[in-house]
């Protein structure tokens, strides 16, 4: 009985927060905190963020402080980060289930590493 209430409450809260996040996409171009959470679930098992050492893919610490991306040597731009996620260079699998805003948020997060 109690579990049902808790589940109901959680679903309600989730629905509300989804509505709010859609109605107000945020003032910044991307949301760093949201990007970090997405990164942890979608990218973190293959990429370090606190070093440049290779995990499965290259560590991404300071990636936006460089001129070129670590593997492809393409210029570090938002555009190329988006390409890497949608249509990756070499061995990284595409991460298809991310919205435009998700990618913006992840990119915003990568900028502060």
| Cβ–Cβ under 8 Å, residues 95 and 43 | yes
**Is residue 56 near ligand HEC by the rule CB under 6 A?**
yes
Of the candidates 48, 61, 95, 113, which one interacts with ligand HEC according to CB under 6 A? 95
Q: How far apart are the first and last CA of the chain?
A: 45
Of 19, 43, 26, nearest to 107 (Cα)? 43
Of 10-18, 20-28, 29-37, 92-100, the segment contacting ligand HEC by CB under 6 A is 92-100
| Residues of the shown chain interacting with ligand HEC in the complex, contacts defined by CB under 6 A | 42-43, 46-47, 56-58, 60, 69-72, 74, 81, 84-85, 89-93, 95, 106
């Amino acid at each position: 009985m109690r579990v049902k209430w808790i589940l109901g409450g959680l679903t309600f809260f989730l629905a509300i927060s989804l509505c709010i996040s859609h109605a107000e996409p945020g003032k910044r171009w991307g949301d760093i905190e949201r990007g970090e959470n997405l990164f942890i679930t979608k990218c973190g098992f293959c990429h370090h963020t606190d070093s440049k050492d290779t995990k499965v893919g290259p560590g991404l610490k300071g990636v936006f402080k460089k001129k070129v991306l670590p593997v492809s040597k393409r210029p570090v731009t938002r555009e190329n980060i988006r390409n890497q996620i949608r249509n990756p260079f070499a061995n990284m699998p595409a991460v298809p289930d991310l919205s435009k805003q998700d990618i913006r948020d992840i990119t915003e997060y990568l900028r502060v590493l």
